[in-house]
Amino acid sequence: MPWPQNTPPQRDGDAAAGIEVTDDFERFSQRNDVFTRAFWDEKVKSKHTAKFFSSYRMEAAPRRGDGFTQRDFALRNAAWLISDVVSSRRAKDGIREGFQAAIQPDTPVAKDALEVDDPAKMSAEVKRIAKFFGADLCGITDMDERWLYSARVDARDMSEAPHNLPEGLNSVIVLGHEMDKELVATYPSALAGAATGREYSHEASIVMQLAAYVRNLGYEAVPSMNDTGLVIPYAVKAGLGEYARNQMVITPEFGPRLRFSKIFTNLPLAHDVPQPSGVKDFCGICTKCADACPVKALPYGPPSAETANVSAIKGVKKWTSDAEKCFSFWAKMASDCAICMRVCPFNRDYSKRRNRLWLKLALSPLRKLALRLAAKHGGRKKPAEWWAGSASEQD
């Protein structure tokens, strides 16, 4: 739906986050995300998309290619199990939790709310508890309704339905979950998809547990994964990283190798601020992700407000992929693809000093030198080597 004319789309703090919203801005309808369109839109829906979704159950069709054998699919689908249990438990009501609807709370809000005198201290506590439950990163930002989907999706018929969020939510707790670097190195493969599935299962349990903690304190908390709103702008505004050409958030701890989840709450919390450090400038001279994309779904050139199809938000000037091209490759391969993550020069092991030094170089005026040093970075590791347990040669 069009943004209200009496409400400026651009806000204070957007510039620091690298967010540029135009007068044509419209909130995104999740019914138009390419995964949902694969169930109702004949432009996306095909025999390949049907096989793609069925492959995540026992209907996978292993093939002889390295990375697509029975055990590759077996590991990938096992990694998704906990996420699948959560997302399917209310399917009869059209509620696909974590993907097309928020995760329904299993814990009531305590009758007596804990008095919070110091929101900054409470934010530190929430971050500590998030790490305790298993999150690798945690940041907190304001509840910006621009990034909420205009509606959720009723999974029974793919129609729009209201979110029914509690009143008074004003903060978003954003959680980052590191993907396994050894598995990411094997993209594209069904084996690599285990890195994605493992983190979806991890984040399902983590957001549910952290939300339960907040509700036990007497405050609303709505656990959320891919549902309810766009997590990337929240992650950037929460200071966890910067948006990149490959459509991912580049973090100083893990580069682009993360999944993100979120919790909407009214717990009194201090908010973090964006931490721009130079990723946009580096992406301005680097096209490794776009060059490596098999279907050329990633953009060249500077950020733009132009969109290729309805599976992109309108009125935001940024690097935007062609989701239809991207998902068509996923469907034909019967697994997710993250070649763009694998080849990204920021995809490194930052526990190593040489990679921390490279990061400083990449974020400095000497970024062209850093790009040259990354010329051979991001090569694919054979899935058979992962199964053999060989040491990774990835950075």
The 3-state DSSP composition of the chain as helix, strand, coil percent (nearest 5) reads: 35, 10, 50
d(CA 101, CA 98): 6
Terminal C-alpha separation, the chain? 44
On whether the CB atoms of residues 361 and 369 are closer than 8 A, the answer is yes
Q: What is the pLDDT of residue 12?
A: 81
Q: What is the pLDDT of residue 332?
A: 92
Q: What is the pLDDT of residue 395?
A: 63
Name the 3-class secondary structure at 5: coil
> What residue type is 23 in one-letter code?
D
Residues 108-147: pLDDT tens digits? Answer: 999 999 999 999 999 999 999 999 999 999 999 999 999 9
Beta strands in 152-311 (DSSP E): 152-154, 159-161, 171-178, 221-224, 242-243, 249-250, 258-265
Q: What is the pLDDT of residue 65?
A: 83
Cα→Cα distances 172→131, 247, 250, 358, 392, Å: 16, 21, 19, 32, 36
Q: Apex CA 178: angle with CA 248 and CA 67, to 5°?
A: 85
Q: Write the CB contacts of 15 (distance below 8 Å, at least 6 apart in sequence).
A: none
Phi/psi for 150 (5° steps) reads -65, -20
d(CA 164, CA 236): 26
CA 140 centroid distance within chain: 16
Average pLDDT, the chain: 94
Q: What is the pLDDT of residue 61?
A: 77
Residues 170-180: pLDDT tens digits? Answer: 999 999 999 99
d(CA 386, CA 329): 23
d(CA 334, CA 356): 36
Q: What is the pLDDT of residue 394?
A: 52
How would you class 242 by CB atoms within 10 Å of its CB: exposed for 0-12, middle for 13-18, buried for 19 or more?
Answer: buried
* Tokens (6 digits) for 272: 């973090």
Q: Which of 342, 253, 240, 256 is nearest to 18 (CA)?
A: 240
Mean pLDDT in runs of 10 for the chain (395 residues)?
A: 67 90 95 97 95 84 86 95 96 96 96 97 98 98 97 96 96 98 97 97 98 98 98 97 97 97 98 95 98 98 96 97 97 94 98 97 98 96 91 53
